[in-house]
Chain A
Amino acid sequence: MPRLEAVILPLAALIAGLAVFSLFLIGLGKSPLTFFALVYKAGFGTGFSWQNTLSRVAPLLFAGLCVALPARLGLVVIGGEGAIALGGLAAAVTGVWCGALPGALGLMLMASAAFCVGGAWIGTVGFLRIRRGVNETIASLLMSYIAIALMNHLVEGAFRDPASLNKPSTAPLPAALRVGDMPIGIEVHWGLGIGVLCCVLCWVLLDRTTIGFAARVAGDNIRAAQVQALPVGRLITGFTALGGAMAGLAGYFEVTAIHGAANASLVAGYGFTGILVAFLARHNPLAIIPVAILLAGFQASSGLIQRRMDLPDATILVMQGIVFVTLLLSETLYGRLRLFRPDRWEQRA
């Protein structure tokens, strides 16, 4: 029952992590019950709190995909932050150049620019991996720093809007090139819808196509994939590029739906939260959706927890860290619990 195991173990790890976090709160003399009640109230309790939560989901979906897609090939890519920054910059610059075009066309071009730049950036990581054997984790980390430096350099130099004095930014996008809210009755921009769509499409790609099958074979056993003459190199480049393209889209929506220009606000740590999202979802694109909503809900409740419980805003960071650690620790249990191995139920001495 490997499928059941893949659902129950992460859930158990999540609950165990929250239990450890509860002990942490009790140790500080705070009530975990109050804490989780406040998280529910501020994150999921009312229509307004759902709006607050859902408006934070989009970058987590895209950043999660940026980690999950290469991970299915066994690669740990942690540089999504840089692809978000460069994707956002590409979108903003394209938007400024296309200011005169009709809105829909301009938005398409901006999204394409973000998609391509993000894809090229992380795709390079995959390319370096297969061509030169460069470790993808280190390369993506280095490239993330280079990307952020490049973004800051260009935003303060070549692409700077002279009117942005205190916070160097690109020129503000015209209203026609701002993505609006989805027509679903709450104020949540299109990033959520497109992000969910991307998760579904990535799931179809991974679980329902021969390409995805080849990728999973290569991720499980690269020698077997090579023996079967699967195009391992192209798979690695393709999946890292697709992951980077997703991170680029995160930057696109940050620019066009939130900030209206590219600036240092693009570097907001989504890339790192995306790592947690992907691992919690066990790199399953469909599972990324609920995980991202859950984490967004926790983040949305941060303000209320600060005010009501007199806890610092880093409380959510601590909780995320503890959950991440217990989750990774739970990896050691896969295939070792008799509960999930009906074939061994009779073996008990």
Chain B
Amino acid sequence: MSGDLGLWAVPVAMLGGAIRVSTPFLFVSLGECLTERSGRINLGLEGTLTFGAMAGYALAFESGSAWVGVGAAAAAGAGFGAFHGWICRFKGVNDIAMGIALMLLGIGLAFFFGKPYIQPVAPDLPSIPFGFWSDVPQVQAALQVNVLFLVGVALAFGMAWMLRNTALGLRIRVVGDSTEAARAIGIAPDRVQLWATAAGGALAGVAGAYLSLYYPGSWNEGLSSGQGLMAVALVIFARWNPVLCLFAALLFGAAGALGPALQTVGFTSGYYLFFAAPYVLTLALLIFTSTPGNALDSAPGELSITK
């Protein structure tokens, strides 16, 4: 049956698509998750991700190494995150609005400096062929797993463990739940939030580098389709739990991959509705789990979106 999977082509293509499409969601949502666990919200990750995509691509092209690009994207993202973390400590600065401002600035800077890199071809990130056991090309294509995805999976479990079992994780959680309590036990909340926002930005930068260096694998101005903004919703969907972020990212990725997968078997209508499904799901989740006057369960207490 080599080459002809019939309707099985849909789930196979969805699996491959889910892994491919979910990787940027995974990184950017882990970044947002870490930031939000410290009590801040960064709506600017869309800009960070776009700038990371551009910086990663540009540096990979100039240096000839895709990993240098990933490092550059992480560094640029950390810069944006640190800036957001620093600026939001001032009294009266609205972290939601500042996120939007930094999103516009990040996108603007990415487009500004990215113009010369739209044409050149930078090296791609490597992938591992887990589909070697099969001689069906679709299966092989689906199981061609990018290294960054594996890193992201490890990171999701690592971050969950870190938050639950380490002193650092405890500090982040205390600051996120009550800056008063944190101050009382001698933790400087601003500093913890600064580092958590910077680390979150770095992860968003890596997500951008994945977009420009692996899939779709080139830099252009329409590269990001809102993954950075979606991360905010995705983290809510995942109840601020890094491991659930992994599954939420896979679900969002699968929904995004469903449209193209259905097209391969000649089913073309409803493409946009499948694409919007995760947004509807997240909204429904918000509606059914929020109650007036009562913050979302498991949400960090200091988070401005739950107040």
What is the interface of chain A, defined by CB distance below 8 A to chain B?
76, 78, 128, 130-135, 137-139, 141-143, 145-146, 149-150, 152-153, 156-157, 272, 275-276, 279, 311-322, 324-325, 327-329, 331-334
User: Are A331 and B107 CB-contacts (below 8 A) given A130-B292, A157-B269, A325-B101?
Assistant: no
Is residue B233 within 8 Å, beta carbon to beta carbon, of the partner chain? yes
Residues B273 and A153 in contact, CB atoms below 8 Å apart: yes
User: Are A145 and B305 CB-contacts (below 8 A) given A134-B286, A329-B87?
Assistant: no
B contact residues around A156 at 8 Å (CB): 271-272
B contact residues around A145 at 8 Å (CB): 226, 230, 276, 279
Q: Smallest distance from the beta carbon of A145 to chain B beta carbons, Å?
A: 5
Residues A153 and B105 in contact, CB atoms below 8 Å apart: no
Residues B273 and A325 in contact, CB atoms below 8 Å apart: no
A131 to B290 alpha-carbon distance, docked (Å):
9
Is residue B266 within 8 Å, beta carbon to beta carbon, of the partner chain? no
Is residue B6 within 8 Å, beta carbon to beta carbon, of the partner chain? no
Residues A131 and B292 in contact, CB atoms below 8 Å apart: yes
Size category of the B interface is: 35 or more
A324 to B286 alpha-carbon distance, docked (Å):
29
Is residue B92 within 8 Å, beta carbon to beta carbon, of the partner chain? yes
Residues B108 and A321 in contact, CB atoms below 8 Å apart: yes
Residues B293 and A325 in contact, CB atoms below 8 Å apart: no
What is the interface of chain B, defined by CB distance below 8 A to chain A?
43, 47, 87, 90-94, 96-98, 100-102, 104-112, 115, 226, 229-230, 232-233, 236, 269-273, 275-276, 279-280, 282-283, 286-287, 290-294, 305-306
Residues B305 and A317 in contact, CB atoms below 8 Å apart: no
A132 to B280 alpha-carbon distance, docked (Å):
16
Q: What 10 pairs across the A-B complex have the smallest Cβ distances?
A: A321-B105, A317-B108, A314-B111, A149-B276, A324-B101, A318-B108, A133-B292, A332-B90, A153-B272, A314-B112
A contact residues around B107 at 8 Å (CB): 317, 321
Residues A331 and B104 in contact, CB atoms below 8 Å apart: no
Q: Smallest distance from the beta carbon of A156 to chain B beta carbons, Å?
A: 7
CB closest chain-A residue, reference B236: A138
13 contacts between A and B (CB under 8 A): A135-B305, A137-B43, A138-B232, A141-B232, A145-B276, A276-B104, A313-B111, A317-B104, A317-B107, A328-B87, A328-B97, A329-B87, A329-B93
B contact residues around A150 at 8 Å (CB): 272-273, 276
User: Are A133 and B294 CB-contacts (below 8 A) given A149-B275, A153-B272?
Assistant: yes
Residues A141 and B269 in contact, CB atoms below 8 Å apart: no
